[in-house]
Amino acid sequence: MGSIRIDAVEAASKKKPLEVAVPTEKVSAYFGKKVFDRAKMYKYLPSDVYQKMLDVIDHGAALDCSIADAVAEGMKQWAEEQGVTHYTHWFQPLTEGTAEKHDAFIEHDGKGGMIEEFKGKLLMQQEPDASSFPSGGIRATFEARGYSAWDPTSPVFIIDDTLCIPTIFISYTGEALDYKAPLLRALCAVDKAATEVSRYFYPNVTKVQSNLGWEQEYFLVDEDLYNARPDLVLTGRTLMGHDSAKNQQMDDHYFGIIPERVMRFMKELEIKALELGIPCKTRHNEVAPNQFEIAPIFEPTNLAVDHNMLLMSLMKRIARKHGFRCLLHEKPFAGINGSGKHNNWSLSTDTGVLLHGPGKTPLDNMRFAVFIVETLMAVYKHNGLLKASIMSATNAHRLGANEAPPAIVSSFLGKQLTELLDAIEKTDDKDIFNLSGKQKIKLDIPVIPEILLDNTDRNRTSPFAFTGNRFEFRAVGSEANCASAMIALNTAVAEALTLFKERVDALIAKGEDKFEAIVKVLREDIVTCKPIHFDGNGYSDEWVKEATRRGLDVETSCPIVFDNYLSDDSVKMFESMNVMKRFELKARNEIKWETYTKKIQIEARVLGDLSLNHIIPTATRYQMELVKLIEGMNRIYPAAEAEELTARNRKIVCEIAQRIDRIEQMVNTLVENRKVANVIESEREKAIAYHDTVVTLMDKIRYEIDHLELLVSDDLWPLPKYRELLFIR
């Protein structure tokens, strides 16, 4: 008897690596081929329009509507040469992924025919019928429609036959309905605040840019096996499945040889990504079997976020072509590592990286210390918010689960940086940075940076680690839009720098020397933000106690963690930095709670169905086989002997019965608990009820099912097992 599972395993084992057309040119020749980048602007735009566009992109000049028609015309000309027939505004609504609605270039020409047309106003602004995108009540309260508006800082690109225009998505009254709008505001805030602080040291700085380099982890699963797992198809993760005897314990997958089928997928993904201007640099196997990583070179944060969204959709599409499914879920398999997306973050001026420590001059050292400490101040003050920014129903499986970052945000600094901050704090030498040229070097700071670079010593348990010239925010989930974390982090740093400057300026106004004032405030802050600094083991129970004592946020319940967005400190920060208003935050939280509930609800339903329709019938069938065997034995052997010979079988029949019974009872309770939760009005309370009464029960049901998997005859088991899902041949 062929079962779905056996057929799927067989189909998967027969697949051959796909041929991939590799361009004959060098990467540098086809990089950005599908992007309307500067070179193409130069070629396709009139020179005055080109200059104005550069001003908009590089200096944030206002977009002059008068040039829009010329820009649109140039874009259309380039796009048509590439066989493009449609265009779309491409935006990032508060659901997952990106949204697009394609329109053809064609219009009536007024003479009974058609003409290709693309006007500036279509490039600049559109009104997608967006009523089905979540707005958390914003649209109901304000204005029914939303509109999308072009973000000229992220270049237009081509996918298939469509010109994609990155846009923000906002309501008529300006409230953000997406990720990009608040991200751009946060980047603007950190630019302003960091530029002002930089000018203490380098008066010529005119712009500070926030950078992001993400590292995308993912799993690949054969498509046939995937299709035989309704839980993977409907929820993105396995809701059941006993550990494979072999998984990651040998550490033989990490950086190991990439299987050929996977290699071809990666190759094609990279080519497509490079054509779209995504600077892919690194690829390797990850820790868990079937887990991989792709990472580009870092870019300005807005662009990096768009590129990550684009890459995630490319990954899904190209994986299917190669007979795989790409799993971006943070925890597709229990018992092995989940997937994250480290966000490497830094600030740089038009003249250099601000978090870089090669202190050629004492001034550089002081700048370095200020930006490090103010980043720590931001993380300290808003550690709960930063956690909320990366929290989701799916990422909750990683946080605190003894593998990925713990559910407490703290920062790893390493020995040298710690010593540096201690020295600044403790010395009573006002001239510690040797700024007045007296040549007395109390603290040999100029040598520290080199040691720092050696000290990329990785504390893998730290959710926010300093790694030489950047911080690495490691708690971000693989499936997440990086914008969420980047909005919170950049806004928090903008606020910390703003407050820093206010205090320094107040001292200067009282007649204090500028550098002495800076050191004074710096010292205060080093002391204040100490509780966020933790270089120890983030997984230990002692850390939870210690972190509680330090006043850090140790909450683990996802819906409650979201409350951090509405704390007084958060609202004050977002409002004062002009990033979001209280009611926008509130609306967005409503969406977060609702999304959480829906995800758990779907999982619970799927688990219930699989339990009742797949698992229990299978276990019962096996039980029947055993019962028949026992009956047969009773017929052939004398009673006492038969009893002895069937002892093991009877034990299994009994254990199956007990487990089935427990599963059935718990599935019933699960349904009851959902019913109770579903009638709760408040989205927050409903999400909490789902967390407290549904999630916990799902784990217990799984426990019983996984034990049944061990008992029931392998040929009857309906769902591909972990050992089959996890090893691509």
DSSP state of 294: E
Sign of the Cα pseudo-torsion (128, 132, 138, 143, in order): positive
How far is 599 from 98, CA to CA, in rounded Å? 18
Q: Which of 683, 612, 514, 576 is nearest to 230 (CA)?
A: 612
Nearer to ligand ADP, 164 or 194 (CB): 194
How far is 634 from 166, CA to CA, in rounded Å? 74
Could you tell me the smallest distance in angstroms from the CB atom of residue 488 to ligand ADP?
Answer: 17
Per rule CB under 6 A, is residue 226 in the interface with ligand ADP? Answer: no
Q: Which of 67, 48, 278 is nearest to 152 (CA)?
A: 67
Q: Which stretch binds ligand ADP (CB under 6 A): 35-43, 343-351, 425-433, 533-541?
A: 343-351
Q: With residue 551 as reference, give the H or E element that holds it.
A: none
Q: Which stretch binds ligand ADP (CB under 6 A): 102-110, 339-347, 622-630, 665-673?
A: 339-347
How far is 415 from 198, CA to CA, in rounded Å? 26
Q: Which stretch binds Mg ion (CB under 5 A): 69-77, 121-129, 178-186, 337-345?
A: 337-345
Could you tell me the smallest distance in angstroms from the CB atom of residue 347 to ligand ADP?
Answer: 8
- Please give the structure tokens belonging to residue 57: 């992109």
Question: Among 215, 364, 603, 683, which residue sits at the site for ligand ADP (rule: CB under 6 A)?
Answer: 215
Could you tell me the smallest distance in angstroms from the CB atom of residue 456 to ligand ADP?
Answer: 7
- Please give the structure tokens belonging to residue 223: 């498509």
Nearer to Mg ion, 216 or 673 (CB): 216
Residues 91-150 touching ligand ADP, rule: CB under 6 A, are: none
How far is 428 from 344, CA to CA, in rounded Å? 35
How far is 466 from 653, CA to CA, in rounded Å? 56
- First-to-last C-alpha distance (Å) of the chain: 24
Per rule CB under 6 A, is residue 346 in the interface with ligand ADP? Answer: yes
How far is 693 from 674, CA to CA, in rounded Å? 8
Nearer to Mg ion, 342 or 397 (CB): 342
What mask of x and - would describe binding to ligand ADP in positions 351 to 370, judged by CB under 6 A? --x-----------------
How far is 218 from 723, CA to CA, in rounded Å? 18
Could you tell me the smallest distance in angstroms from the CB atom of residue 272 to ligand ADP?
Answer: 19
Residues 234-293 touching ligand ADP, rule: CB under 6 A, are: 282
How far is 271 from 27, CA to CA, in rounded Å? 8
Task: Decide which of ligand ADP, Mg ion, none touches 477; Cβ closer than 5 to 8 Å per partner kind.
Answer: none
Could you tell me the smallest distance in angstroms from the CB atom of residue 344 to ligand ADP?
Answer: 3
CB 277 within 8 A of CB 159: no
Could you tell me the smallest distance in angstroms from the CB atom of residue 392 to ligand ADP?
Answer: 22
Could you tell me the smallest distance in angstroms from the CB atom of residue 467 to Mg ion?
Answer: 7
Nearer to ligand ADP, 45 or 287 (CB): 287
Could you tell me the smallest distance in angstroms from the CB atom of residue 182 to ligand ADP?
Answer: 21
Task: Decide which of Mg ion, ligand ADP, none touches 78; Cβ closer than 5 to 8 Å per partner kind.
Answer: none
Residue ranges of alpha helices (H) inside 60-115 are 65-81
Q: Which of 319, 267, 266 is nearest to 292 (CA)?
A: 266
* Environment class of 407 (CB within 10 Å of its CB; exposed 0-12, middle 13-18, buried 19+): buried
Q: Which phi and psi (to 5°) does residue 461 adopt? A: -90, -5
Task: Decide which of Mg ion, ligand ADP, none touches 346; Cβ closer than 5 to 8 Å per partner kind.
Answer: ligand ADP
Nearer to ligand ADP, 282 or 682 (CB): 282
Nearer to ligand ADP, 341 or 721 (CB): 341
How far is 175 from 90, CA to CA, in rounded Å? 18
Nearer to ligand ADP, 126 or 459 (CB): 459
- Please give the structure tokens belonging to residue 395: 């990422």
Number of residues that bind ligand ADP (CB under 6 A): 14
Nearer to Mg ion, 79 or 482 (CB): 482
Number of residues that bind Mg ion (CB under 5 A): 1
CB 254 within 8 A of CB 724: no
Nearer to Mg ion, 342 or 674 (CB): 342
Nearer to ligand ADP, 157 or 466 (CB): 466
CB 63 within 8 A of CB 105: no
Q: Which of 303, 299, 268 is nearest to 283 (CA)?
A: 268
In Å, how far from its chain's centre is CA 153? Answer: 22
Nearer to ligand ADP, 87 or 473 (CB): 473
Q: Which of 615, 612, 614, 570 is nearest to 588 (CA)?
A: 570
Could you tell me the smallest distance in angstroms from the CB atom of residue 215 to Mg ion?
Answer: 5
Q: Which stretch binds ligand ADP (CB under 6 A): 341-349, 430-438, 639-647, 694-702?
A: 341-349
How far is 256 from 316, CA to CA, in rounded Å? 23
Q: Which phi and psi (to 5°) does residue 103 adopt? A: -125, 145
Q: Report the amino acid identity of residue 614.
A: H
Task: Decide which of ligand ADP, Mg ion, none touches 412; Cβ closer than 5 to 8 Å per partner kind.
Answer: none
Nearer to Mg ion, 272 or 342 (CB): 342
Could you tell me the smallest distance in angstroms from the CB atom of residue 413 to ligand ADP?
Answer: 16
Residues 299-328 touching ligand ADP, rule: CB under 6 A, are: none
CB 110 within 8 A of CB 128: no
Per rule CB under 5 A, is residue 342 in the interface with Mg ion? Answer: yes
Q: With residue 534 as reference, give the H or E element that holds it.
A: none
Task: Decide which of Mg ion, ligand ADP, none touches 608; Cβ closer than 5 to 8 Å per partner kind.
Answer: none
Question: Among 34, 180, 397, 470, which residue sits at the site for ligand ADP (rule: CB under 6 A)?
Answer: 470
Per rule CB under 6 A, is residue 344 in the interface with ligand ADP? Answer: yes
Per rule CB under 5 A, is residue 272 in the interface with Mg ion? Answer: no
Q: Which of 347, 37, 321, 397 is nearest to 207 (CA)?
A: 347
Task: Decide which of ligand ADP, Mg ion, none touches 470; Cβ closer than 5 to 8 Å per partner kind.
Answer: ligand ADP
- Give me the residues that bind ligand ADP (CB under 6 A), please: 211, 213, 215, 282, 295-298, 344-346, 353, 469-470
- Give me the residues that bind Mg ion (CB under 5 A), please: 342
